[in-house]
Amino acid sequence: MKLLVSMTEYDAILYCPEVLVKEKCAVSILYESPPSEWASGMCMSAFSKQRAWEIYRAYKDMRMDTIVSILYYDKDMKQMLAAYLQMQYIVGRYTDLWFPAEVKDICKAIQGNIELKEYNEVCGVYNSETQGLVEKALSRFKTIEI
């Protein structure tokens, strides 16, 4: 299985759609995207529920067996992210780790026989079928800015 580290709710969809469509993946989201103007009038509990539903539906549009988790990650606590990724590897959650440039140093420090793949805009080049899935998945996000 592949683990994709995502800097916002939609990064993995935008930059790694081919992986999400073809492979069983787990996605760990590190940061929250800013709320959209539409969401500014919602109370916090409604916003949280709506946001969770949007994330769930967007990733399930790509592939039903995708596992999504949101990590409350502070940039100053890099050791905690490294420990989380190392523990996930030890328990067998993934063999391939895809990550954005922002966490490259942390991911490169993980010990084990892991295939590391840095993703960026270049990875976001995909075919027309995948393009449709990406557009459908991204259209789910109404409460956050994309």
Domain boundaries, the chain: 2-139
* pLDDT the model gives residue 104: 93
Closest CA relative to residue 131, chosen from 64, 61, 69, 68: 61
For 100, counting Cβ atoms within 10 Å of its Cβ (0-12 exposed, 13-18 middle, 19+ buried), the class is: buried
Q: What is the pTM of this model?
A: 0.87
User: Would you say 12 and 63 are in contact if contact means Cβ atoms under 8 Å apart?
Assistant: no
Q: What is the CATH number of domain 2-139?
A: 3.40.50.10320
Per-run averaged pLDDT (10 residues), the chain, 146 residues:
94 92 94 87 89 95 94 82 94 94 92 92 72 93 92
Per the structure block, which two tokens stand in for 82?
A: 């490294």
Closest CA relative to residue 98, chosen from 13, 9, 8, 16: 16
* pLDDT the model gives residue 53: 95
